Structure 1
Amino acid sequence: MGFTSSLVVEEIDGEFWKVREPLIYEGANETFEVPVDFRTDFASVPRPFVWLIPRYGVYTRAAILHDFLLRTERVGKADADGLFRRALRECDVSRPRRWMMWTAVRFGSRLEGISPAAFAVFMLVAVLSIVFLAIPTVVVTVFLVLFWFIELIAWVVDRGAPPERRTRVPRPQMRT
Structure 2
Amino acid sequence: MAFVGSGLVVVEELDATFWRVVEPLVYQGDTQEFVIPAGFRTDFASVPRALVWLVPRYGAYTRAAILHDYLGTTHVVSIADADGIFRRCLRELGVSAPRRWMMWTAVRAASRLRGASLAAVVGWVLIAVPSIAFLAVPVIVVQVFLVLFWLVELVCWGIARVFSRTATPPPEPQMKTA
Q: Would the TM-score normalized by the shorter structure come out above 0.5?
A: yes
Aligned runs of 1:37-76 on 2, under 5 Å?
37-76=39-78
How far did residue 131 of structure 1 move? 3.8
Distance 1:132 1:104, change over 3 A: same
Of structures 1 and 2, the one scoring higher in RCO (CA 8 A, sep 6+) is 1
Q: Which residue of 1 aligns with 2:9?
A: 7
Cα distance in structure 1, aligned partners of 2:142 and 2:16: 21
How many matched pairs? Answer: 131
Aligned runs of 1:121-140 on 2, under 5 Å?
129-136=131-138
Q: Which residue of 1 aligns with 2:102?
A: 100
Aligned runs of 1:69-84 on 2, under 5 Å?
69-84=71-86
Structure 2 letter corresponding to 1:36: A
Superposed CA deviations along residues 96-149 of structure 1, whole A, max 9, x for unmatched, are: 00000000000011179xxxxxxxxx9xx96774343134557999xxxxxxxx
Cα distance in structure 2, aligned partners of 1:19 and 1:110: 27
Matched, 1:87 2:116: no
TM-score normalised to the size of structure 2? 0.66
Determine which structure has more spread, i.e. the larger CA radius of gyration: 2
Structure 2 letter corresponding to 1:53: V
TM-score normalised to the size of structure 1? 0.67
Stretches of structure 2 that go unaligned for 5 or more consecutive residues are: 115-123, 144-178
Stretches of structure 1 that go unaligned for 5 or more consecutive residues are: 113-121, 142-176
